[in-house]
Structure 1
Amino acid sequence: MLNFFINNDALTLRELQTHFSISRVTITKNIREINDYLDGVAKININQSKFYLVIKDYSAIAKLQTNFLKQDLDFNDPAKRQATILKELLKNINGYVIVDDLADALVVSRGTINKDLRALKTALAFYDVKIETKTNRGMHLKADSDYKYAVITRNLVGKYYELEATWDSPTDVKLTNLIQQLDFNTDTVMAIKRNIAVIKWLRKYEIQIDARVPHYHQLLSDDATASLRELITEMISSSLSPGEWDFISYPFNIKKLNADDDELVKLALTDVDHLMQVVFPIIKQKFDVNLDFKRLLMELRYHLLFLINRAIFGVKTEGFISVDMLNKYPVSTELAQLSLSSIAQKLNVKIRTQEVGYLTVYFQMELEEYMSAPVIHRVALVKPISNSMKKFITEQLKELLNDDLQIDIFNSESDLEKSPEKYLLIFSNSFLTGNVLIQHAPIIRLNSVFNQGTLRERLQISLVDEAVKRGLCKFDVTHFTGKSTYTAGVKQLINQEIDCGQLTHEFLTDWAKREELSSSIFGDGVALPHVIDKSGLNRILVTVGLFEKPVVFDNQKVNVVFLVAIPNKLDAELSRILSQVYDLIRSIAANSNIFNNLKNYDDNRGLIQLMEAI
């Protein structure tokens, strides 16, 4: 949690609950303990429901980040025990380790060791490293590539042990200078030194990475790194193998450096291009969005190059986009997840979930470019209305819509009645009669124009209502009866839509898989499960489920479920409507009056009823 505060600006309680999946009480307790621990160094403050870190001593924080996980914890800590077990398995890579010996060494029971081994096997599975057992002999580690021993040593053992790497002060100064000639960044210097320590430690136990690491790209020439490699060779008392240099030097190759060799970069980007020429058709087959993939690749290629290098060595990145933010961009997130899963499969690497956020940003930028084709919305003004008021309304709506606007002015209600056009909104201070409300659009009083928040909410409702009337969006509301759970409620919504031919049974299976990947809890009592719909129907489906009493899922309360089915074939118009649907859902979550209108929703009256009393 402390690292999360160090790497983020002000955080809301909901963001903390979503990220850590823990209760409000636990978060408060953790923050209190962190403040006690940081006494005199830094403090987590709160201002208007947002928590933020105030640092008083930056050098102390930097030292703490490096060392606080390596303090001498006792073996009552399961994570420390598991790191110790892994350390013993690595030290005996060519032999076997016996469970009883581990229990004696750690002064715990055999049952405790077996429990730790189960947890350790799960952690190692991410790296494709196994703990194999042979009867009457014991356990040993097995990896398909030797470099993975270095990765798990750095990520899992190095978290708690210094690995006994030492060299004299003059050597350290020279090493630092040579690294900084290539990259002056302090984190890079520390990472290279840590990797040297890992290689030295592994060699003590006869573990050497001989072969080059597959799919990994070196971006620095041999000439540029010759002096550094020569010094490291002296430090470890023998020449470096190609695989060892790949591991030691990877911090240079996960970002753009001035020292990069142009030819090596060009070759690496060519490999990325060839990979994505295979991946993009796979994505389009699963989710048919007509993006300019050629242009997207030009934007993405450097990012993908560094992403692949990070993935190969299990490098963690900060998830700078929260789950809440990802929920705002469902299509882009889906495209990012499909891309990462395809890349991982093609290269046989594991890619961390934090990478989704970065890739989502690129897809969202391209998607917004794709949706930028002009759309003309018609708005009616019924006199009496001044030219200055017309200008003001036009400017307000253009700012909110980001689309072209056609404003028609009518001298009277009867003139409006004669118009064959459909209007998004009608502005008037008169009480219009007849069927104008039904035939044309919602009536907006002129004083609403001065409240941009209210105007935005009315506009969001009108946009989705317009899509519903055109058959491009379907909106249904269900009240759950009796004692229901989140999972049972969503299944009920899906089955209802299957029964009326809106969804297929495959959608239910896809939703279950999606829930395993990431949380659908949007916050503020709202759940937002969204799944790709393969029914072939050309519309956005929104089916709402309201609980009689809040239910708890993922340690959070849920009052309402917005289940969104996104067509497998998504054109620019449907993409725009989907964005409008998500804007409306956020307004419903934030405005209690709109939410109360939703709770009293009448299927015969349509979405316009959500505007009442807002």
Structure 2
Amino acid sequence: MLSQPRLKEILQLLLQPTVHSAADLAQRFDVTVRTIRSDIQALNRLMQGASINLKRGKGYELEIRDQATFEDWKHQALSPDWTLSLDSMEDRQRYLLSILLMHPEWQDPDDLADMIYVSRNTIQSYLRSIRNLVSRYELVFESRGQQGVRISGPEEKRRQCLSEEVLDRNLTDYVTGFSPLEKRLFEHTDLSALSGILYSCLQESCLTCSDYALKNLVLHTAMMLERIRAGGVLPSHETETLPAEVETAAQTLCRTLEQKEHISICPAEQNSLALHIALNTRFSGISEREDLRTAITRMLDRIAAVWHFDLRNDPVLQKDLYNHLFSIFKARRSEQHHLNPLLNTIRSSFPLAYDISLDAVNHVFQTVRLSEDEIGYISLHIGAAVERCYSGQMIPAKVFLVCGSGMATSRMLEARLKSYFQSKLEILGSLSYQQYLALSETELTSADFFITTVPLPDRGIPFVEVEFSLTRDNAENVARMLSPAQAQFQGPCHFFQEDLFVRFDTPVTKEQVLDELCTRLIQAGISEPGLRESVEQREAISHTNLNDIFAIPHPMAPEAARTRAAVAILDHPVPWNDSGTTVQIVFLLAFCKGEQKSIERLYDFLLEIVQSVSLQQSILKAETFEEFRQLCLRP
């Protein structure tokens, strides 16, 4: 379990019969003797079946007490799966932050520099960045001469900072295993065994959750165990009444861990664990709230009136929206905020669903505003319902979906598949990664193939791996599983016209681009004079760039005589949002009420641009509208 390359190299040296002094090792690795001593101490803390001893006048020697135990440990310790990548500045700073958060004692900056292989000047730059970062969590970065540096502050804030700033929730890898950084952070905890214990406790209490939520719970529980061992215990707080099955699961889990880990888990830690179980699982005890029912009715009325998508008779959407809004406000009462790791993907892959949801949510929730993270998940449910409105009949090819990130993403993937392959697919069900592993042979062979968002081990049934947004390439790969003929997708030419095309060959501002495009749409008789103000209102709510090259500004709601896109191509990138992201392709969209199909087709083409670097490059090369049409638009 050696996450630092230097520790592995020291162990490999000590496996040889040669004795090495601290000075020899320090010179070999270009670090201080003090750092070598710290490394030896770290190795001894982790090592099983052996220890490294200092022989006076000679140096360090490996003494093996239990050969079988040591060999098992050595096999794991030298595995490449435990090696941390510290190639980028972000990786090094994240690892440095993890050390300071997990170890509250004073740390010598020189030792920290040696740990992450940077100079003394660079370590000071990293520490300044960390000082600014932790202040947002009510934590204090302390620096005292000879003592060194440390982070102090409330235990709950320390854990929140660890969760949000250190853990990397890349979905594909996140749900199927544990990263070297996670293993390093929780080096005294068997994460795989903990995952099994948690899964069993949830099953016994009839609680279900996505693979993503299960991983969240595993890491939260591992963090609790590590912090208890380090003496960092949560203070007592007023407890919230939770469903009985949640309390039972938390109690069972705590008693099991106390026996296994030989620790004591106080009531405050158990209450915190119960709350996280409630926030990450689905359970039957959801109470009825008339205010949420009313809010959902008003949202769907708004979508029908403004966007002309009538989703009011979709019982699946009604249920999903209620459960999701209930979870949002449940988390808010507990002062919990879950970041949405899918937000950027949702915004770029489902811009229409996101815009519809943003408009409806802001119309209904004016007193209590929902965050973009929360709206992102809502837009998946709305987008799936929009797709269902236009899906056709089920067909013979039988498939299971495997989706590790929860109900919202599996609903969206299912709806996208039905929209693309309405006469070709029969979806037997949606599974988590854990449920896929538990399928019997009979259940496996009931499917022709599997469509999955996470890597799957081969169990004899073919599968195709896709993104939950179902990109063009993904759809074509699914089509190949069904038929040798590839699915064909058409580009919407009629949304573009010559007088709505402009190329800027000199530097301009975002405001100048918007002014020009709005003016052209108004002069063409497509939009009303209030277009520019409405576009500005939409930009103030949430940025409209889909990536670092392409933006789609638009008014708050459909208001045009015809659905059109005014195009600006920029020789010089222009900053488009507060974070400084620049763009060079701008499509200002004007929607016509009642043209649902046209709006969907236009957004499908925008999505194709986002997913195709070659198409983006073709657009950038277009000097005139005719070149734009020939290079980019298909009839």
TM-score, normalised on structure 2? Answer: 0.48
Q: Which has the larger radius of gyration?
A: 1
TM-score, normalised on structure 1? Answer: 0.49
